[in-house]
Chain A
Amino acid sequence: MNGQSAHHALTFTIFAAVIAVTMVVTYLAAKRVRSASDFYTAGGGVSGWQNGWAIAGDYLSAASFLGIAGLISLYGYDGFMYSVGWLVAYVAVLLLIAEPCRNIGRYTLSDILCYRNEPRQTRIVGALSTITVSTFYLTAQMVGGGVLVKNLIGINYEVSVIAVGVLMLSYVLIGGMVATTWVQIIKAVLLVCASLLIVMLVWAPYGFSLPAFMADVVADPKVQARVATLLGDPAKSMTAAELGQRFLEPGLYFKAPIDQISLGMALVFGTAGLPHILMRFFTVRTAQQARRSVVWAMIIIGGFYVLTLFLGFGAALHVGSASIAAVDAGGNMAGPLLAQYIGGGPDALFGNFMLAFVSAVAFATIVAVVAGLVLAAASAMAHDLYVGVLRAGQETSSQGQVRAARVATLIVGALSIGIGIAAKGQNVAVLVGLAFAVAASANFPCVLLTLHWKRCNTGGIVAGMLVGTVAAVGLTLVSPNLSYPLAIKAAAHKVLDAEAAKRAAAHTAQDLAAIDKAVAKAHADLAHWGTATTSFMGLERPLVELKNPGIVSIPLGFLAVIIGSLLRRDRRAESMWNEVYARQNTGLLVSKGGSASA
C-alpha cells in the first residue's frame, strides 16, 4: 500500500509538470491571439519543421501510440503491418493535397471547397462532414482517453473524461491554434523521447542487432503459448519453435484479406481528408513550408512506427500477452507496462518513474489530439456555418469572429465531454475506422477533384459529400462491427455447453481460471442481451461481411462527385478554374491569414 501511494505521488508530480509546461505555453500564446486568423491558424506564423512536429502530435493519437504497440504485442506481424498504412497515407497528403490546399485555402476544409463553387451549399455540406468526421474521432478519443487515464492513474472514468475535456478546453479557448500547435509539438517531442528511451533500453542488451532481438522473441514460451491460443487446434501439431516463428508471420489478426485492403484504403486516402490535419496546412505561410512540414511529419511518424515495432515485440517478450490482455483486452497497456518492466518492475523507483512518465505522455497525447479535433469542428461551426452561412453578406468584425470561434469551441468541448460520459463502456474502436472511412469517401474525393479536375462543380461537391458520408456510415451500420444479440447469445451458450468437458480436460490452475473467466463472460452476455434478437439497426445478422466500408464507399464517393458535376451546369466553377489552376501551382496571392480578403 505504501509503495502504491508513493507511486501515485510520483505519477501526479510528473503529470503536474507536463500540465504546467503546457499551461505556461498557453498563457504565452494567449497574448498572440487577437484575430480570427490567429485563433484558427496561428496567424500563419508556424514554420515548416514546427508544423511537421505538430502534425505528428495531432496524428499520433492514443490509438496509434498505445493501440498499435498493443496490437503487435498481442498479434505480432499483423500489428506491424497495420502501422504501415498510417505512414503511407502521408504520401497522398504530400503529393496531392498539402501544397494546393495551402495556396487555395484559408481556415477550413470548406474554404477549399467553396473557392470556385456556390459558397452557401458547399459550406453547409463541408461543415457537416467536418463535424461528422471530427465527432466520430473525438468520441473514440474521449472514451479511449477516459479508460486510459482511469487505468493509468486510478481515478474514475467520469472524472477522467472531464479532466481531459477541461484541460483541452482551456488550451483551445485561451490560446487557440497557437497554444494547440505548441501543445502538439511538446507532446510529439515527449512521445518520441519516451519511445526512444524505452527502445534503447529494450534493444541495447542485444547489441542493437535486430535478428538477435527477434530470435529472443520467437524463443519465448509466453509468445509461443500466445500463438497456440490464437491458432487453437491447428497449433497441436506444431513445435514450440514453429509456434514462435508463426508470431512473425501474417494472419493472426487479419483473417479476411478484403477487410484489410479496405481498411488500408480508408487509411491511405482518409488521412488526406481529415479536417484537423488539413487545417494544419493553413498555419504555415507558403506551399514550400507546407511541403516541408509533411516531410518532417513523415520522418517523425514513420520513425515512431519503426519504434513501435520494438515496443510491441518487447512487450510480448518481457511483459507477455496474457498480462497485457488481463489489464486491457485491446492491448493498450502494452507500452506503459513495458516501460515499467524496463525500469526495473513495479517495485523499483525507476520502474514507477517510467510508468508515470509514459502515462503522462499518453495523457498529453489524448489532450493534444482532442484539442486539434475540437478546433477543427469549432471552426466549421463558427467560420463556415455562423459567419459564412447564417451571417452571409454581413460584415462580421474580427472580434465577433473570435468570439464566435470561442463560443463554438465551448459548445463542441461540452458536447464531447457529454458524449464521452454517455458512451462509457461502448466499443468505440469502430469509430476511428469510420472517421477515416468518411474522410476517404466524402472529403478526399471532393478536395482532390475540386483541385485537380476542371469540370468539378457545386453539384459534384454536394453529391460527393452526401453519398460518401451516407455510404460509409450506412455500410458500417449493417456491418459485423455492431453487436448482434443472436450471435453473441449463441456463442455464450456454446461456451456454457462445453464447460463441463473443458473442466474435465483442464490440467493447470491457469486453465481453470481461464474457463471461469469465459463462463462468467458468457453469463454476463446472456444477462445483458436478455430477450433481444436484433442489433441497434434492427437486424438479426449483418447485411454485409465487410468490416471497413472503404473499398465500396470510396469509389462511390468519387463516382458521386463525377456524376453530380456532369449533371449540373455551374458557370462560376468553370470560369474560376483558370484561377484555381494557376493559383495552386504558383502560390500567387496566397492568403496570409488576416490581410487577404476571402
Chain B
Amino acid sequence: MANEDAVDWDAIIRDPRFVDLHRRKSRFLWGLMALSVGYYFLLPIGAAWCQPLFRLRVWGVINVGLLFALSEFVVAWLIAWVYSRRAGRDFDRLAALIAADHRIKP
C-alpha cells in the first residue's frame, strides 16, 4: 500500500528539472488553449459581422463560411495531435525521470 508521506513533494518542486518541465509545459498548454479558444470564437464573430466574406462562394456552391466551420474541426484535431505528440515525447519522459528519482521504494 502506498504511503502518502513517502514522497518529499517540496523536494520535487525545488528540483530544477521540475521547474523547467512545468515552465515549458505551461507555456505550451496555455498557448494552445488561447489559440483554440481564439480560433473558435472567430466562427460566431465572423458569422455575425463578416457575412459578406462568409457568403463568398469558393468551391461550387460551397462558401467561405462552410469551409471555415469545417476548418474548426481540423484545427481542433491538429491541436490534439500536436499536444499529445509533444506530451508523449517530451513531458511524459521528463515527468517519469523526476518521479523515479523522488520515489522512495517501500
Interface set of A (CB-CB < 8 Å, partner B): 77-78, 80-81, 84-85, 87-88, 90-92, 94-96, 210-212, 214-215, 218, 244-245, 248-251, 254, 257, 260-261, 264, 268, 288, 291-292, 294-295, 298-299, 302, 305-306, 578-579, 581-583, 585-589, 595-597
Contact = CB atoms under 8 A, between A and B. Distances in A.
Given A81-B43, A587-B95, A578 B2 contact: no
A88 B40 contact: yes
Contact of A95 (B29, B45, B47, B59): B29
A454 B96 CA distance: 23
Looking at B22, B25, B73, B83, the one whose CB has the most chain A CB atoms below 10 A away is B73
Given A87-B73, A595-B2, A268 B40 contact: yes
Contacts of A251: 47, 51
A578 B40 contact: no
B45 A582 contact: no
B77 A298 contact: yes
Contact of A597 (B1, B61, B62): B1
Given A302-B76, A306-B70, 4 more contacts: A84-B43, A94-B80, A302-B73, A586-B98
B73 A254 contact: no
Contact of B25 (A78, A245, A578, A585): A585
A378 B38 CA distance: 37
Contacts of A583: 9
B73 A212 contact: no
A84 B13 contact: no
Contacts of A589: 2, 4, 7
**Across chains A and B, which 10 residue pairs bring their CB atoms closest together, nearest first?**
A211-B60, A257-B48, A250-B47, A582-B12, A579-B9, A91-B36, A586-B99, A88-B40, A84-B72, A578-B9
Interface residues of B, number: 55
Given A210-B62, A261-B45, A250 B84 contact: no
30 contacts: A77-B47, A80-B69, A81-B44, A81-B69, A91-B32, A92-B33, A210-B59, A210-B62, A211-B60, A211-B62, A244-B61, A245-B63, A249-B51, A250-B48, A250-B51, A251-B47, A251-B51, A257-B47, A260-B47, A264-B44, A295-B80, A305-B73, A582-B18, A583-B9, A585-B21, A585-B95, A587-B99, A588-B7, A588-B12, A595-B1
B73 A288 contact: no
A227 to B, nearest CB: 14
B14 to A, nearest CB: 9
Contact of A288 (B2, B66, B79, B92): B92
Interface of B: 1-2, 4, 7, 9-10, 12-13, 18, 21-22, 25, 29, 32-33, 36-37, 40-41, 43-45, 47-49, 51, 54-55, 57, 59-63, 65-66, 69-70, 72-73, 76-77, 79-81, 83-84, 87-88, 92, 95, 98-99, 102-103
B44 A257 contact: yes
Contact of A294 (B21, B72, B80): B80
Nearest to B67: A210
Nearest to B57: A245
A467 B94 CA distance: 39
Contacts of B81: 295
A552 B32 CA distance: 24
A310 B40 CA distance: 22
Nearest to A263: B44
A78 B72 CA distance: 14
Most buried by B among A260, A288, A291, A582: A582
Contacts of A257: 44-45, 47-49
Given A250-B54, A586-B99, A87 B76 contact: yes
The winner among B54, B70, B80 for most chain A CB atoms within 10 A is B80
A91 B79 contact: yes
Given A264-B44, A268-B40, A578-B13, A291 B73 contact: no
A211 B76 contact: no
A597 B4 contact: yes
B80 A298 contact: yes
A91 B37 CA distance: 9
B37 to A, nearest CB: 7
B61 A211 contact: yes
Contact of A245 (B49, B61, B95, B98): B61
A580 to B, nearest CB: 9
Contacts of B22: 581, 585
A302 B77 CA distance: 8
Contact of B40 (A80, A211, A264, A298): A264
B63 A84 contact: no
Contact of B103 (A268, A306, A578, A588): A588
Nearest to A582: B12
Given A84-B72, A91-B79, A589-B7, A215 B36 contact: no
